[in-house]
Amino acid sequence: MKLNGVDVSSGASVEVSFDRAITVVDHLIRPPDNSAFLAPGWIDLQVNGFAGVDYNSAASSHAEIALSIRAMFACGVTRFFPTVITGSPDNMSAALRNLANAKESIAEGPAMEAFHLEGPYISPEDGPRGAHPARWVRPPDLEEFRRFQGDARGNIRLVTLSPEWPQAPRFIEAIVQQGVVASIGHTRASSEQISDAVSAGATLSTHLGNGADAVLPRHPNYLWEQLAEDRLAASFIVDGFHLPSSFLNVALRAKGLERSLLVTDAVAPAGCSPGPYRLGEVDVELRPDGSVRLTGGTRLAGSALMMHHAIANVMKTAGLSLRDAISLATRNPARVGRIANRQRGINPGDRADLVLFRLDDTTGQLTILETYLSGQRVF
């Protein structure tokens, strides 16, 4: 297979030859006729559901999961981490088993690169807990995690937890030794607890600026501590609802573009019409303004964000170049999520996960033309 386009990372017009992996990248004398950009496919480390399908429900059929993945392909996503949030042990295990079975059985399964466990080891406090059900929040438990990992057939690669639990440092050390990324999120941890978590091996802050108290001490507080910690990368939900532009700009400067990445935190309503939906055992609603909130309330509960919109949003909100914005959705999450053969961009030997798209100079929006997963055209 061959694709022509402008390589986002270099600005050069290229022809890329590939099968399952990229084999040759040739520079062209003239720009391609299609006026399209070529980039590695997007990577999303936090997807709770999409296109009406809830990954937290074991009742979601494999056909429905396949449909939701194909809808993500249309947004340029080629690899993602289905995310299971706080729930009862039985429900979380059932959801993980269902996802593991789907990953192995459906044609779209390879796009489910690994799984993200967001909870249940988070803050029990209102505010930092976010939309996670309070009755199922619990301290880190290595034996339970091992059961979850067994249910997931070893696919859990990212765990979001709060360091405020006394068990957190030992838990982090143990899962990191197993190749799992430990991320700080939904927390009311102290400065010392955050420092201990990082020393134990935590390397990421989950959707920094969200899953937090409405009012914080001026300083110190857990947002400042994470922003100042250079050993932590940070993910951001750039949908116009989760973060004000001032915080996003300051956070990107503090973390640096090399330690920043985009996530959608998408839930089942993403890509759907406004109305009522479910996230695990929680009732949510997609409002006409595009926000997803707990039914009857104002608290955000995930997002309806699509990754190609997140890229456009961060360009507009933070003034990033196309090249930098793309890196927040490709190379950076590949590195942070330990996704092999996806960390160098468009280079021979890397997986042929590719997206061909156009950028509207007037609106700043991206239009996805073609998406390839391991060399196969999926959109």
Q: How confident is the model at residue 280 (pLDDT cuts 50, 70, 90)?
A: confident
Q: How confident is the model at residue 129 (pLDDT cuts 50, 70, 90)?
A: very high
Contacts of 108 (CB under 8 A, 6+ apart): 65, 66, 69, 70, 73, 378
Contacts of 197 (CB under 8 A, 6+ apart): 163, 168, 169, 172, 182, 184, 189
What is the model's pLDDT at position 206? 98
| 246-257 average pLDDT score | 97
Residue 259 has pLDDT above 90, yes or no: yes
Q: What is the DSSP letter of 303?
A: B
| 257-286 average pLDDT score | 94
Residue 348 has pLDDT above 90, yes or no: yes
- How far apart, in whole angstroms, are the C-alpha atoms of residue 43 and residue 30? 30
What is the model's pLDDT at position 30? 81
Give kind and range of the element (H or E) at residue 262. Answer: strand 260-262
What is the model's pLDDT at position 196? 98
**265 classed as catalytic:** yes
Residue 120 has pLDDT above 80, yes or no: yes
| 304-311 average pLDDT score | 98
Pick the CATH number of 41-341 from 3.20.20.140, 3.40.50.2300, 3.40.50.1950, 3.30.465.10: 3.20.20.140
What is the model's pLDDT at position 221? 96
Question: Which amino acid is residue 73, in one-letter code?
Answer: F
Whole-number average pLDDT of the chain: 96
| 303-317 average pLDDT score | 98
Q: For 48-101, what is each residue's pLDDT tens digit?
A: 999 999 999 999 999 999 999 999 999 999 999 999 999 999 999 999 999 999
Q: Tell me the helix, strand and coil percentages in the chain, rounded to 5.
A: 30, 25, 45
Residue 32 has pLDDT above 90, yes or no: no
Residue 204 has pLDDT above 80, yes or no: yes
Active-site choice (44, 54, 151, 265): 265
Q: How confident is the model at residue 25 (pLDDT cuts 50, 70, 90)?
A: very high
What is the model's pLDDT at position 281? 84
> What is each CA distance from 137 to 96, 131, 132, 174, 238, in whole angstroms?
18, 11, 8, 20, 27
| 145-164 average pLDDT score | 98
Q: For 206-248, what is each residue's pLDDT tens digit?
A: 999 999 999 999 999 999 999 999 999 999 999 999 999 999 9
- pLDDT-above-70 percentage for the chain: 100
Residue 256 has pLDDT above 80, yes or no: yes
